[in-house]
Amino acid sequence: MLLAVIVGFAVVNGIAEEFLYRGFLLTELRTLLGTAPAVVLQAVVFGVAHLSGFPSGWPGAAMAAAWGIVLGVIRIRSEGILAAWVAHLVADSAIGAIGVFLLF
């Protein structure tokens, strides 16, 4: 049951965040700023949004920002959000599993 909750969260969270950060924000910023600055800026916003994530604080935000750059590059190279969403799903599932392991 716990595994289903983790994967379910990862599916919904990944879709929501990929549509917001890579589908909308990256697309709009890319039009205004060009590709490289847009990838970096959306990653910074993504990182700041994860200040209270796991791990929390600025180290976690920096890790999320670095991951946001990777997801942004995946989004640009694949010309869609599906590949970025799958990568996000796998990462969130792994983070959830690690979190559960650390709690129990």
At 81 the pLDDT is 96
Omega before 55 within 30 of 0, i.e. cis: yes
At 96 the pLDDT is 87
How many Å apart are CA 45 and CA 75, to the nearest integer?
A: 16
Contacts of 83 (CB under 8 A, 6+ apart): 74, 75
Percent of the chain with pLDDT over 70: 100
